[in-house]
Structure 1
Amino acid sequence: MLLIKNGKVLTMEGTTFESGYVLIRDKKIYKVGNKIDEKKYKISKTINAEGLWVLPGLIESHCHIGITEEKKGFEGEDCNEMKDPITPYIRGLDAINPMDSAFHNAICSGITSVMAGPGSSNIVGGQFAFIKTWGRCIDEMVVLEPAAMKIAFGENPKSNYNELNKVPTTRMSIAALLREELFKAAQYQKEKIDSKKRRKPFELNFRRECWLPVLNGEIPLKAHVHRTDDILTAIRIAKEFDLRLTLDHCTEGYLITQEIKHSGFPAIIGPCLTSRNKIEIQNMDFKNAGLVSNAGIKIAITTDHPVSRIQYLPVCAGYAVKEGLPMEEGLKAITINSAEICNVSNRVGSIKVGKDADIAIFDGNPMEVFTHTIYTIINGQVVYDKNKQ
């Protein structure tokens, strides 16, 4: 058993223990509280966290880690399959390389899990996976897969296919092609259900089966949207087909907060620690997160690694707090909110008995730039110790 004691334990469940403990057994959080009788348990390792902050491991809710690898160039670039605008059958899991150096950067920053998948050059880019950041075999790092279906609106698919001189080159055709794909998927689902009821043979279709978790409400559409019109189009189509949706980037979300709140969909905001190098992000600002959150919309914050490097996730949350996001919401935006939006809060995102023992220990508030990560623990194992570096 691993014992963390005497630290400021921020559970992200509404409780903070100023001098608390976390007891870990068999990769899970076993006990949390103010006091512990250490003699009752067979403790193999103790971390004295006096003067330190103990949080659930941080979560990056939208990135391309291991898919767009650092230092590799074309050989390590697998983010976008830019020949066909509709590729729902592509699985990000098949391209994530755990040897990408960015995984080490994530661990050293207290980031213990990420949502990773294809980019935004296609209308339908493929399937995301939610994974831990420590490991060598990607299959053993998986928490949820598939975890979301990537779709994209606006400048990215328009620009890519305009260069190829093929559709889509307008927002109208992006929406139309997505509707057509969803319509065909829904027809496939209906036919499969009808065949089962009538006990008739049914021919499986590889390009349609991947839509069933989306249509059944098991995973959301993960929509790349920046401008207000694209945000509203994504909401409109999700409502038409009665689907779950996350609004990723949501750069102009602060301009239409009431419409987003009415939709009921959450927003994953960022990256903001980058230049306004595209037309559709000219209104990008760190104040976005606070304005959207203060309107009653659940938010997470993203670096969109490698657009911004993944280790700056807590700093991005800190800048959002500086610009109006409440402090507690800033911490939630990189822990429990991220977990809930990514549909994995049963396992990660807070320090709670029964959840995965993913813990990050800092020498202060992780959203402050001078704060150091002292320990990172994943599945109950210390995978980073600053004192041993």
Structure 2
Amino acid sequence: MTIAITGGYVVPVDGDPIDSGTVLIDGSTIAAVGTATDVHIPDGAERIDARGQWVLPGFVDAHAHLGVHEDGEGWSGNDTNEKTDPNGARFRAVDGIDPHEIGFDDALAGGVTSAVIKPGSANPIGGQTVAVKTWGRTALDLVFREQVSVKSALGENPKRVYGEKDKTPATRLGVAATIREAFTEARNYAARRDHAAAEGKPFDTDLTYEALNKVLDGTLAWDQHTHRADDIVTAIRLADEFGYRLIVNHGTEGHRIADLLAERDVQVILGPLFTARAKVEVRHRTMRAAGILDRAGVRLAITTDHPVVPIDFLVYQAIVAVKEGLDPASALRALTANPAAMLGLDDRVGSLRPGIDADVVLWSGDPLDIYNRAMRVFVGGRDVYRFDPERGEGVVADRLYRERPATT
């Protein structure tokens, strides 16, 4: 099916805004973006009048626990942390996702069409992350990149979890050592595996070290949970030691070393921003951090860490960050192109350009104006959300299979 969204203020993110622009959707992908004269609309296409509205790519939350830590479900819906092994590289977030968590509907209402779902931060090495769309009936529908990165944690969380068990790692020294030992053994494992292959001998596969070797060879990024500036520097030192691609997650004190992060080209997924200073390592949290990092030249994404902050509040965090000094254009990039590029997803999401997924959101106006809202959301070209002004609420396309009545 071909859909033409016409007359809106089109913000491709990776190019200049287009007044009275057209976005042409062909099936599940974007076919063309441009002015009314640039884009040919084929006969029979469904036309959507977007006059008075802003048209943007769907937002990307680069660090969420959507579906694995189900909002409102208590312990039974919390599969975020497997707290039984400090090295959980073999654990996969995709195995715990419930696509019927209410958070997926909230995401659509907030214009969020993609999220990278991550294990929690109880372990020094928590497991593998997965990129999903926010509409689908099963994990088979949701997932568009099954392995994106490996999640790791420094600082207070793993230190507390294993310290309470009187086992390693109970200190920052122990946490760093656990990570260092894991990568060292992964290298040794790869050498033994490759030698066995060269000799034509059988070799037992270890899923933990296979995952870590994908980090070492650059296939997967290393998502490092870290808040304090000293822990961020430890993350940099470990990345230098083993040569993997580091992405700082949370980065609460990143603004204190913004120049270093920029110099070392370390990217930061910042947030959640709407939280209390509930533990010692976030005592220097500030809404000014996004602007400081951006002005220093650090590539920045903003996250909710859902359900820590509800995922539909992603844009509100950006709005307040703009109020506290973040450039508005940088704010939109922090919700779209930046998280997509950081995690190697920009071939599918994060902008409006031909050939990528048709994840398109029509806003009532500038999304960085708190009074505006997502009016209509397309995921992969499918019309999945509409705001109904008469009801004063959004309507999400049904995620359930409905058996059709038998025909005679």
Q: Which bin holds the TM-score, normalised by the shorter protein?
A: over 0.9
For each residue in 1:92-139, what CA deviation from the matched residue of structure 2 results, as whole angstroms up to 9, or x when unmatched? 000011000000000111110000021101100001001100001112
SS of 1:174's equivalent in the other structure is helix
Judge which range, 254-263 or 53-62, deviates more: 254-263
- Find the counterpart in structure 1 of residue 170 from structure 2: 169
Contact 1:335 1:349 in 2 (8 A): yes
Aligned counterparts of 2:147 and 2:105: Cα–Cα separation in 1: 24
Contact 2:22 2:39 in 1 (8 A): no
Contact 2:229 2:257 in 1 (8 A): yes
In structure 2, stretches of 5+ residues that fail to align are: 389-393, 396-408
For each residue in 1:342-381, what CA deviation from the matched residue of structure 2 results, as whole angstroms up to 9, or x when unmatched? 2100111000000100001101121222111111100001
Contact 1:56 1:351 in 2 (8 A): yes
- Find the counterpart in structure 2 of residue 190 from structure 1: 191
Shift of 1:203: 2.2
85 and 23 in structure 1: CA distance in 2 versus 1, 3 angstrom threshold: same
- Find the counterpart in structure 1 of residue 285 from structure 2: 284
- Find the counterpart in structure 2 of residue 350 from structure 1: 351
Q: Does 2:70 align with 1:74? A: no
Mapping 1:1-389, distance limit 5 Å: 1-36=2-37, 41-387=42-388, 389=395
Contact 1:359 1:377 in 2 (8 A): yes
Shift of 1:293: 1.1
Matched residue type, 1:236: R
Aligned counterparts of 2:37 and 2:191: Cα–Cα separation in 1: 56
Aligned counterparts of 2:204 and 2:160: Cα–Cα separation in 1: 36
Aligned counterparts of 1:94 and 1:191: Cα–Cα separation in 2: 29
Percent identity, aligned pairs only, is 38
Contact 2:93 2:127 in 1 (8 A): yes
For each residue in 1:6-45, what CA deviation from the matched residue of structure 2 results, as whole angstroms up to 9, or x when unmatched? 0000001122101100000020100111015888513442
Aligned counterparts of 2:339 and 2:40: Cα–Cα separation in 1: 36
Judge which range, 311-320 or 193-202, deviates more: 193-202
For each residue in 1:119-170, what CA deviation from the matched residue of structure 2 results, as whole angstroms up to 9, or x when unmatched? 1011000010011000011122112121110000001111111221212111
Give the aligned CA root-mean-square deviation in angstroms.
Answer: 1.4
Aligned counterparts of 2:348 and 2:41: Cα–Cα separation in 1: 26
Matched residue type, 1:226: H
Matched residue type, 1:178: I
Shift of 1:68: 0.6
Aligned counterparts of 2:311 and 2:4: Cα–Cα separation in 1: 28
Contact 1:21 1:36 in 2 (8 A): no
SS of 1:211's equivalent in the other structure is helix
Shift of 1:273: 0.5
Aligned counterparts of 2:44 and 2:110: Cα–Cα separation in 1: 26
Matched residue type, 1:323: E
Contact 1:221 1:243 in 2 (8 A): yes
SS of 2:179's equivalent in the other structure is helix
Normalised to the residue count of structure 2, the TM-score between the two structures is 0.93
Contact 1:316 1:367 in 2 (8 A): no
Matched residue type, 1:218: T
Normalised to the residue count of structure 1, the TM-score between the two structures is 0.97
Shift of 1:262: 2.3
Number of aligned pairs? 389
